[in-house]
């Protein structure tokens, strides 16, 4: 269990499998180093009213990422034909990880204590797989709550190299996705992310620096600095999430797993001359 020792209690509780065929919950808590009480604790979820508002915010923000809380409140009030309080919209956007000022998701604000790297991709010609990878986090709605999705994507081929779903914004699921991408595809020349605390933590940065990868970070408020991931989120939501209405976290994982297999191996991309990301990342000889 050495890998789990660096995780927070919340992360370790999220690893518990309540229906595991071989390990009872009591043994899992012992191995993960968490109390049995924490395994059964269920925090109060958002209200039905809040969830309905969050659904509207998510769809509007996906359509119009330049909208801040003021315009979202006005738009939703107009659609509902009733006044929606702007402070309520700001509170929910905070829970969803949407920044009200900048025109891009800012799923965890950073502080000056964390290192910030310059943006290295302005004017760079992307011409081969594993030249540039990037990552980001987005909000995924459920019928009775929500989860966060992180993905690592190759800029050249648009291949989704790895992804993870988490119920919290702790760094553990981002680290797992990064390590899986490296294990499956090697390392990129440049790795780009935003300035969120997950991506500027010492553990996360060490993943790349110890392998000689150059780190690049989006400028504050620059939605187009990580444009390929932003496009991926819109595609995933319109083609999968908004159509399926996941009930549980496990249902979300299953649905997203199937969708990303389709996205990588079957979905033809106009920008890739109607090839799939897998075909572009691994071109056939001849």
Give the Cα separation of 181 and 178 in Å (integer): 5
CB distance 175 to 203 below 8 Å? yes
Q: How many domains does one find in the chain?
A: 3
Residue 127 lies in a domain: no
**Over 90: is that where the pLDDT of 58 sits?**
no
| Alpha carbon distances (Å) from 209 to 73, 206, 240 | 42, 5, 35
What digits encode the pLDDT tens for the residues 94-109? 777 776 434 344 445 5
- Judge if 179 and 55 occupy the same domain: no
What per-residue confidence (pLDDT) applies to 4?
45
What range defines the domain where residue 55 resides?
48-96
- Judge if 62 and 184 occupy the same domain: no
**Over 90: is that where the pLDDT of 224 sits?**
no
- Judge if 216 and 165 occupy the same domain: yes
**70 is written with which tokens?**
């003021």
Residue 105 lies in a domain: no
> CATH number, domain at 276?
3.30.420.10
Residue 126 lies in a domain: no
- How many C-alpha atoms does 159 have within 13 Å on its Cβ side? 25
- Judge if 9 and 71 occupy the same domain: no
Q: pTM here?
A: 0.72
């Amino acid at each position: 269990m050495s890998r789990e020792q660096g995780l927070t209690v919340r992360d370790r509780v999220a690893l518990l499998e309540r229906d595991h065929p071989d390990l009872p919950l009591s043994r899992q808590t012992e191995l993960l180093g968490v109390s049995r009480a924490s395994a059964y604790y269920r925090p109060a979820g958002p209200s039905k009213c809040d969830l309905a508002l969050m659904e509207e915010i998510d769809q509007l923000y996906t359509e119009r990422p330049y909208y801040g809380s003021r315009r979202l409140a006005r738009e939703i009030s107009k659609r509902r034909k009733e006044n929606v309080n702007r402070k309520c919209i700001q509170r929910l956007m905070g829970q969803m990880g949407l920044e009200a000022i900048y025109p891009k998701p800012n799923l965890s604000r950073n502080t000056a204590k964390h290192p910030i790297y310059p943006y290295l991709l302005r004017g760079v010609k992307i011409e081969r797989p594993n030249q540039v990878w990037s990552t980001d986090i987005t909000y995924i709605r459920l019928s009775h709550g929500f989860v966060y999705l992180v993905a690592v994507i190759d800029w050249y081929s648009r291949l989704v190299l790895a992804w993870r779903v988490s119920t919290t914004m702790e760094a553990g699921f981002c680290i797992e996705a990064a390590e899986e991408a490296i294990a499956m595809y090697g390392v990129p020349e440049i790795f780009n992310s935003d300035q969120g605390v997950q991506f500027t933590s010492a553990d996360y940065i060490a993943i790349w620096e110890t392998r000689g990868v150059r780190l690049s970070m989006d400028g504050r408020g620059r939605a187009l600095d990580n444009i390929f991931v932003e496009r991926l989120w819109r595609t995933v939501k319109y083609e999968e999430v908004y159509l399926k209405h996941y009930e549980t976290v496990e249902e979300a994982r299953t649905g997203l797993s199937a969708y990303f297999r389709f996205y990588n191996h079957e979905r033809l991309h106009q920008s890739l001359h109607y090839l799939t990301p897998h075909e572009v990342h691994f071109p056939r000889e001849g």
